[in-house]
A and B are shown apart, each in its own frame.
Chain A
């Protein structure tokens, strides 16, 4: 018990230190609001990437439709906030959880049939689901006018702050770490390694595939809610196939099944995108998307297993014994 409390205290201290220092840097003007917003975006992306890491990196389920779950969470949370109104932090927290919950429920419904498919076929099915969701978002105004459809959703309050994104990022990392380094996590990983062997060793593989998939999608849902209230504007194209690919690229660059790598890659990717925008001379910003694919191809040719190998940051190595 004492140990658990000490752990909790350590986590809270780390949280206060991280969030506090960023808030301080922003308040004193050392970091300008533009970069604070980029940092917030990076945290949001890191949460959803950690979700895909659970789905693909640990459970081995190839998903090409992760952004759809981000969108489900974003629209759910934004719709709730908008219809209830107000700027209550409690409501915001509830809306975020509702976003994660909605993503989880839909992941369950999709997973029931789709997780029986294997590897590439699952990838295509999730890709298809992503595109269907994009069409749904595009036409959402025909059943819920507040969602705005293809014109985009406006009237969202800007609620996402540094303390919120850091909080959810830490929580998501802790959940992944504590799950993966437990018997439940080992069951999940065994599916990636050899599904038939796992099944004959008494692992209910379908159930744990579901656990991995739903958990990862719920992360995306929460991240989506944070995203919606970061820019206070939502458009279906924020959740299209390319966004799914973005997250996939981050997870592969970071290293499948490597929490630290995925964390670093999330920040690296977002800061690379924004950094190039600053570095490239005006009029050459479109060169970004010429350089990035080249970088991507070269990285894959040189390090197909991801940039970071298998080493984890000390706080992400789950100790199983005291």
Chain B
């Protein structure tokens, strides 16, 4: 198992935001996490990546417990994420956004940096090449010196994924990567994510509202409502599940 979540629980005041969630991801799987707004999906992400500490349950990543580790330790173990409300380093260039993510793999020491040794320059060039490769996969190479906050929305989403990948993760958590994209862009994004998974041998957990994307590419789905997983299975099974349809009543009909 890449990621195994058991009985995960988190309370905020009297509200059980996450209430006994079980979820597993096998190596190379692409699993979708869906559910109405406020059902606790993002909180699951926050718990896995260490931004909040769970009140109960366990999170195992390659058999190592992530509970109680700080977010940067979790990232260094190989878990990266994107954010629902895009958290780029807005005032820095596209290039620097991705370069920062490389920091945990840095080899030169502070003295090398201060004295500008040959080793410093060699590694900086290596970093630059790596970043440019990554950016060209995302078709962002022509924007590398632009300020991240000035990119069009879709590019910002892509840049955030690129930045997450630069930390060289094995598990990637994507929080609504298609939010705010038009159908054309969503189509491209789907191809993209699938390509990514192939190329970097990723295991992906994905939160999404756009059912076309979820149904089209996820191998398995888990549906959350009021902090609990109310259904899980293949996309086609979920489509027919009465509990899921009930949970979504009153929201925009998700299945077109």
Which residues in A have some Cβ–Cβ distance to B below 8 Å? Answer: 1, 3-4, 7, 175, 178-179, 182-187, 189-190, 193-194, 196-205, 320-322
Contact = CB atoms under 8 A, between A and B. Distances in A.
Contacts of B110: 179, 184
Nearest to A2: B118
B89 A193 contact: yes
Given A186-B103, A194-B87, 7 more contacts: A190-B92, A199-B70, A199-B71, A201-B75, A202-B76, A321-B124, A322-B121
B117 interface: yes
B113 A178 contact: yes
Contacts, number: 106
A100 to B, nearest CB: 15
Contact of B83 (A183, A197, A205, A321): A197
Interface of B: 49, 51, 70-72, 75-76, 80-81, 83, 87-92, 96, 99-104, 106, 108, 110, 113-118, 120-121, 124-125, 127-128, 163-164, 166-167
Nearest to B110: A184
A202 B104 contact: yes
B106 A183 contact: yes
A4 B163 CA distance: 32
Contacts of B106: 183
B87 A196 contact: yes
24 contacts: A3-B118, A4-B116, A182-B108, A182-B124, A183-B100, A184-B113, A186-B96, A189-B89, A193-B91, A194-B88, A198-B100, A199-B51, A199-B72, A200-B71, A200-B75, A200-B80, A201-B100, A201-B166, A202-B76, A202-B103, A203-B72, A320-B121, A321-B121, A322-B121
B8 to A, nearest CB: 18
A275 B111 CA distance: 41
B128 A321 contact: yes
A202 B75 contact: yes
Nearest to B115: A4
